Amino acid sequence: QVHLVESGGGLVQAGGSLRLSCAASGSVFPINTMGWYRQAPGKQRELVATITSGGTTNHADSVKGRFTISRDNAQNTVYLQMNSLKPEDTAVYYCAADQVSKGSVIESWGQGTLVTVSS
């Protein structure tokens, strides 16, 4: 298990931008895939974007072209650049990381950071 701490959330007007960061620490096993999820009030948690240790990315259709996930392996940090924000992007954003230890997958989650997009 790795400790994940998100930062960068806040209040922004529609059309604005925010940059989320997730710093990983205390990792015993190598981190493979990291990702961002979000959960809006009354809705299920959904995948926003993922990135592998090799840099392969995947973005949900709802954010494609607006959000960009990136990773700094040297600093064990993953970022989510959010542009052209919409009110429907309002949610708690969670950072997640997957580790593999002798064939077993270990999943870690941050506590989340709130992003509020006003109309």
Supply the DSSP string of 77-104, one letter for each residue.
EEEEEE-S--GGG-EEEEEEEEEEETTE
pLDDT for the residue 34 = 94
pLDDT for the residue 76 = 85
Question: What is the band of 1 on the pLDDT scale with cuts at 50, 70, 90?
Answer: confident
> What's 27's DSSP letter?
-
Write b or e for each residue in 33-56: b if 16 or more Cβ atoms lie within 10 A of its Cβ, otherwise e.
bbbbbbeeeeeeeeebbbbeeeee
| Between 99 and 90, the higher pLDDT residue | 90
pLDDT for the residue 79 = 97
Structure tokens at 1: 């298990």
10-63, pLDDT tens digit by residue? 999 999 999 999 999 987 788 889 999 999 999 999 999 999 989 999 999 999
